Amino acid sequence: MSGFEPPDDIFSIGMACQTCAAMILHFSGSCWAEVSAEYTLKLEKCPDDEAVGLALRKDQLGRSQNHPLERSEEVPENAVTSLGEYSQPDVQVFMESRNSRLADRTTRPVIAHLYKEGLIKSSYDPAPPQETNPAIGVAIALTEPGRSPAFAISYNFSVVKENPNNLVEEAKAFLKQNPGARFSILRPWSFSMFFPAKFGEALRKKSTFVDMPGRTWECEFLPKESPYSDWYMKQNVEQEIERYTILLPQERSKVLHRRDVILVMAENEIDCLRDTMKTACALQSSRLFELDVNKSFFNVDAEFLERMDARYLGVV
């Protein structure tokens, strides 16, 4: 395969095989046969695979319109903080301050678990009041519609964010020039509270948080609530693709991303399979990212992207 370099360690090879096994059934048998002909080992689909592939493609459509119920990746600006205003729990988000007993009962066990697992560590810097140092986050209990109170970090500052790529509009523009265009949406797995990205000391200090007893904690991985998470995750994904790039220059321009969501654009189904495989291998070669096939979609059209739940495209 032109421009393709296979992974060279057993861990990356294993992830690449799992990714290929997950995506193959979303492509036609003739397409896969043509691409696999470029390898020494010939792989073809049997009639049973075709039937399973059809079922999976139908399942992709249903899955794309029903995003699983998950905690928010950031504290909503319209979250209410007074029980008197919390009158519509089916639509409102309630934020319990860190000084309340409910917040302490909710956050303390989670903090202990995160510390035990090595996801956070004690910060030996003093914890000044948040008013004088807004970079200090606060551990809170966040109650969202359909969910019980959960641990979250509230940061009292924001950063100027660049305009993210509108992936659907980019796909439509590409479709106008390539009527038979096909697309794949790739998304790396992430923990419910953190992105799988380690960061330097300077940014770690800006992502610290304090709990009810006044202890200050530093995160070993990027907390999703951090105002820097969008920018830093976008940079991490871009660097991994560039560092381990196995795409030809003309193909690289067809790979766009918004934070941790990657859009692969191709002129036809065969190129979609090739470029999706290359991009997935590039993303996973660093061992930092692992493709989440449950939040990824393969070989779809622009209409599919337009109809899918926007949260799959990184819009929160």
Is the predicted pLDDT of residue 240 greater than 80, yes or no? no
Do the beta carbons of residue 162 and residue 228 sit within 8 Å?
no
pLDDT of residue 257: 83
Do the beta carbons of residue 164 and residue 42 sit within 8 Å?
no
Stretch 208-217: mean pLDDT: 87
Stretch 101-108: mean pLDDT: 87
Is the predicted pLDDT of residue 98 greater than 80, yes or no? no
pLDDT tens, position by position, 174-204: 999 999 899 999 988 888 888 887 777 777 7
Confidence band of 3 (pLDDT split at 50, 70, 90): very low
Do the beta carbons of residue 211 and residue 122 sit within 8 Å?
no
Residue whose C-alpha is closest to residue 225's, from 67, 31, 95, 32: 95
Confidence band of 1 (pLDDT split at 50, 70, 90): very low
The residue extents of the domains of the chain are 10-70+165-196+226-313, 94-160+198-223
pLDDT tens, position by position, 11-59: 566 666 667 767 777 776 666 566 655 544 444 444 454 555 555 555 7
pLDDT of residue 43: 46
The span from the CA of 255 to the CA of 203, in Å, is: 28
pLDDT of residue 45: 47
pLDDT of residue 244: 58
pLDDT of residue 110: 93
Q: Name the percent of the chain lying above pLDDT 70.
A: 71
Stretch 81-96: mean pLDDT: 81
Task: Say which residue, 153 or 197, is predicted with more confidence.
Answer: 153
Do the beta carbons of residue 93 and residue 76 sit within 8 Å?
yes
Stretch 62-82: mean pLDDT: 76
Stretch 220-230: mean pLDDT: 84
pLDDT of residue 243: 64
Helical H runs in 25-100? 29-36, 47-64
The span from the CA of 117 to the CA of 42, in Å, is: 43
Task: Say which residue, 306 or 35, is predicted with more confidence.
Answer: 306
Stretch 197-223: mean pLDDT: 82
Confidence band of 281 (pLDDT split at 50, 70, 90): confident
Do the beta carbons of residue 266 and residue 272 sit within 8 Å?
yes
Tell me: domain 94-160+198-223, CATH 3.10.10.10, correct?
yes
Is the predicted pLDDT of residue 247 greater than 80, yes or no? no
| Residues forming a β-bridge with 222 | 195
209-210 vs 137-143, strand pairing mode: parallel
Is the predicted pLDDT of residue 219 greater than 50, yes or no? yes
**Long-range contacts of residues 30-35, Cβ cutoff 8 Å, at least 24 apart:** 31/269, 31/270, 31/273, 32/273, 34/270, 35/1, 35/270, 35/273, 35/274, 35/277
* Fold topology of 10-70+165-196+226-313: Alpha-Beta Plaits (3.30.70)
Q: Name the percent of the chain lying above pLDDT 90.
A: 9
* pTM > 0.85: yes or no: no
